[in-house]
Every structure is written in structure tokens, then in C-alpha cells.
Amino acid sequence: MSDSKGLTYRVEPGGSLHGELRVPGDKSISHRSVILGAVADGTTEVDGFLQGHDTLATANAFRALGVRIDQPSPGRLRIHGVGMDGLRPPAGDLDLGNSGTAMRLIPGALVGQALTARLVGDASLSRRPMRRITEPLARMGAVVRATENGTPPLVIEGRPGGLTAIEYDSPVASAQVKSCLLLAGLWARGTTVVREPGLSRDHTERMLRAFGAEVEVASGSAAVRGGQRLRATPIGVPADISSAAFFMVGAAIAPGSRVRLRDVGINPTRAGVIAVLDAMGARLRLIDQRLVGGEPVADIEIEGSELRGIDIPPELVPSAIDEFPALFVAAACARGETRLSGAAELRVKESDRIAAMADGLQRMGVDATPTTDGMVIVGRTALHGATVDSLGDHRIAMAFAMAALRADGPVRVEDCDNVATSFPGFVELARGAGLGIEAER
Ligand code: S3P
């Protein structure tokens, strides 16, 4: 029992994963459905909405901005759009909790509105870099103030009619930066162009089109003309590949496992985890590939197999960026060495994921060497039971829970409350699939 560390997972060693599972809805798509639905004309029905703390924070922020959002049943949202200029000044701070996506995307929708808003977050979010959005937004004429360190809270003073389009070469491949600027671009004079060094997830571009906007996409760039209106459209949210990844890795490392993950979004800008596991020798199949609301979806079947270490191709980094905690666990169980570089962004996620994973893996007896922008991991047959700290990062917590499948003793994972940000019901789903996991406070 440890109050300071909140929820602790206690995971029995060994076992395997089985069954047909549907993990919760995609976090990125759920956030975007609320943001675009809020400023669209008409009522947007969302099916499969992720009821995690992050996406509920976005829904509550728009409620505070005067948007009626009903929840007729679990996973369904009805968003009564107020149109491009209909948001209202909020009565108090907008609390975005742990969500970097909310903190970086919502300003894009507010800088052109007749309102002032203050966006706040928890301790982790209050440490995350925001200059990557405040600088280009300022160049568009937006007024957004961060702290001296360039971190939240953000204060936005909307400037209706005061924004000018820019062409922006983003130094990082970041969907949050790209999405923020494309959103702001809807209220700007001229055409806003965002170029990025690698292709980040393109859900905003796809969903803007579904809402009837014209978006020009070329390799490495996206452009949107200001003054367009959005038209409400139904959104079906696929299961989140980033949540599915924990079960993919768990099944891959645990001999005898066989899992089918239903309705998983396999958008190519998100599917790096499939390519990496495939290159490591995982036994994995995509079944029944289809298109749902402009997003590619499939069932993923995966079985336990012997994995081998690889050099992770740098071009796969943006499309696997959220899956490295899970992939590091796969690497720890693979034969030989796995090397990742070019992933310095991992240091500024919900935690420093390079430090958090290296520390926990070392506690489990793994030869894991952090580098400035990646990690070198020498796989081993059995991991040691250990107590590891998730640092309040949902993906670190779930990655180490799965690592227990190959441990020789119990694994305790501390500070797991934030798993609810992206994966409500993780413990129950994992236990049902065969992981010996209990949550205790
Ligand atoms: C997200 C983009 C990614 C990702 C995050 C969600 C999004 O961040 O890590 O979990 O929904 O746009 P960056 O855009 O900072 O790479």
C-alpha cells in the first residue's frame, strides 16, 4: 500500500494471452471528433468515443465553451455544433488534466474566437513544451501566452478576424503542432501550409475532409484555406492501435498466446508498431481490412513467437512514436540487440519515456542503455520480477504490466492512475485475456 504512488499494479509472472478483444476507441480521433464537431454546423454523432480522462477533458472544455454535448449511451456522443464563431467565453479555467493533445490542439480552435481562455493541466502536462505551438501561432497574429519556460498554463486572447495564414516548416514531426496550425488556419486570411520532417498522424486532415473542408495534402505537407465552414458528419471511432499495442506485444512475447484484436485503426501514419513487430519476427496477421469513416481498420491476430532484435528503421519512428514503451518490452524479450535512435521526442511525452523505460527494464535485469534519442536493449530469456515506477505515465504502466508475462517473479508497477487517461478498463480486459494482474491502492 502506498498512498503517494496512487494505484499500484501487482502482476503475477508468466502465463499467456488469449481471446478476442476490443480495446477502447482511438484517443487521437476522439479528441478531434469533439473539436471539429464543436465548431461545425449541425449535430455530430460519435460512435466508439474513448471515455478516457484525456478525451473527456476535451469534451468538458468545449462544454465550458458553450457547446452542448450529450452522451446518449456509453461510447456515443452527440455534439451540437455552434459553428465557426459560436464558442462562448468560459467561466473559469479549462482543465485539460494530463492531455498534451488537448493542450496543443484546442488553442488552434480558440485563437480566432471572441473570447479569452486559460488552459491548465496537471503536473506532468505543466512541464511539457508549448513553444512549438505558441511561436508559429504568434506568427499568425494569435495571442497565446505560456509561462516563461514555454509551458502551460496557456492564456489565449482570441482575435476574431486577426489571423493571417503562414507557411510553416515544423522542426519536429508532430501531429499536435500540425493540427493546431491547420485548425487556426481555418480562421486565418489565406492558406496555411505546414511542412514537417517526417509524416506524423494525419487524422486531422482526414477528419477535416469528412467535415467537408478542403485540405491539400502532399508528401510532408498539409494546407488549409481560411474561411471554410465545417459540416457535421457521423464519426465512427476505431479501436486505438496504441492501446492494442500492449496486447500485441504481450501476445508476441508470451509463448502459447493467441489474441485477436477487433476493429483496430491501422492508418499508415499510426501503424509503425505492426511493421516493427513484423521485422522482429512476430506472428501477426491483418484480417478483414476495411475503411470506416475515412480511416483504415482491421482485426489484428497475433501469436507468441520467438522475437529477434533489430535496428528500428528511423522512418518508422513517427508512426510508432507512442508504442515505444511496449516495443522496448518486446526488445527486452527478443534474441539479440535492438537499437532505436532518432526518437528524442520520447523525452517530452507524459514522462521522459527513455529514462522511465530504461530504469524499469534495468530493475528487471535487462541490459538497457538509454541514449539521447533512443535506447539500446539486449534481450534476454527471462526478466526478473521487480518494482518499477511508471512515473504517472499510462503507457509506461501498461508496458511493464505486460513485461510480467516473461518475468521470473511478480512485477509491481507504481503510480498507475493515469492508465485511465487512455485505457479505461485495462486491468479487467488484461485479466480476462490471461494476465495475472490486480490493482491495489
Ligand atoms: C497525438 C500526437 C502525438 C502523440 C500523442 C497524440 C495526436 O504527439 O504522441 O499521443 O493526437 O495528435 P506529437 O504530435 O507531439 O508527436
Quote the pLDDT of residue 233.
98
Main-chain phi, psi angles of 168, to 5 degrees = -125, 125
Q: Is 2 a residue whose pLDDT tops 70?
A: no
Quote the pLDDT of residue 4.
61
Quick one: average pLDDT of 281-289? 98
Quote the pLDDT of residue 5.
75
Quote the pLDDT of residue 293.
80
Quote the pLDDT of residue 90.
98
Does the C-beta of 243 come closer than 6 Å to ligand 1? no
Q: What angle in degrees, to the nearest 10, is found between the helix axes of 203-210 and 175-185? A: 30
Grid cell for residue 308: 529477434
Quote the pLDDT of residue 1.
38
Domain ranges of the chain: 8-25+238-440, 27-236
Does the C-beta of 134 come closer than 6 Å to ligand 1? no
392 and 351 Cβ atoms separated by less than 8 Å: yes
Quote the pLDDT of residue 122.
98
Q: How far is the CA of 31 from the centre of ligand 1 (A)?
A: 11
Quick one: average pLDDT of 239-244? 99
Q: How far is the CA of 175 from the centre of ligand 1 (A)?
A: 6
Query: Which ligand 1 atom is at minimum distance from the Cα of 174?
Result: 14
Same fold, 8-25+238-440 and 27-236: yes
pLDDT tens track for 15-59: 999 999 999 999 999 999 999 999 999 999 999 999 999 999 999
Q: How far is the CA of 172 from the centre of ligand 1 (A)?
A: 11
Q: What is the best residue among 30, 240, 321 to mutate for testing ligand 1's pocket, by most ligand atoms within 8 Å of CB?
A: 321
Grid cell for residue 353: 519515456
Closest to 78 (Cα-Cα) out of 114, 55, 46: 46
Percent of the chain with pLDDT strictly greater than 90: 98
Q: What is the best residue among 58, 96, 132, 176 to mutate for testing ligand 1's pocket, by most ligand atoms within 8 Å of CB?
A: 176
Does the C-beta of 28 come closer than 6 Å to ligand 1? yes
Side-chain half-sphere exposure of 238, counting CA atoms within 13 A: 25
Which listed residue (26, 299, 322, 417) is catalytic?
322
Q: How far is the CA of 434 from the centre of ligand 1 (A)?
A: 30
End-to-end alpha carbon distance in the chain: 6
pLDDT tens track for 149-177: 999 999 999 999 999 999 999 999 999 99
288 catalytic per annotation: no
Does the C-beta of 176 come closer than 6 Å to ligand 1? yes
CA 162 to each of CA 109, 190, 260, 345, 434: distance values in angstroms, whole numbers, following the listed order: 14, 12, 51, 32, 56
Homologous superfamily (CATH) for 8-25+238-440: Enolpyruvate transferase domain (3.65.10.10)
pLDDT tens track for 78-99: 999 999 999 999 999 999 999 9
Does the C-beta of 257 come closer than 6 Å to ligand 1? no
pLDDT tens track for 307-364: 999 999 999 999 999 999 999 999 999 999 999 999 999 999 999 999 999 999 999 9
Candidates 3.65.10.10, 2.40.70.10, 3.40.50.10490, 3.10.100.10; CATH matching 27-236: 3.65.10.10
What's the whole-model pTM score?
A: 0.98
Quote the pLDDT of residue 3.
43
Does the C-beta of 98 come closer than 6 Å to ligand 1? no
Q: How far is the CA of 96 from the centre of ligand 1 (A)?
A: 15
Q: Bridge-partner residues for 274, per DSSP?
A: none
Q: What is the four-CA torsion angle of 65, 68, 69, 73, rounded to 10 degrees?
A: 160
As a whole number, the mean pLDDT across the chain is: 97
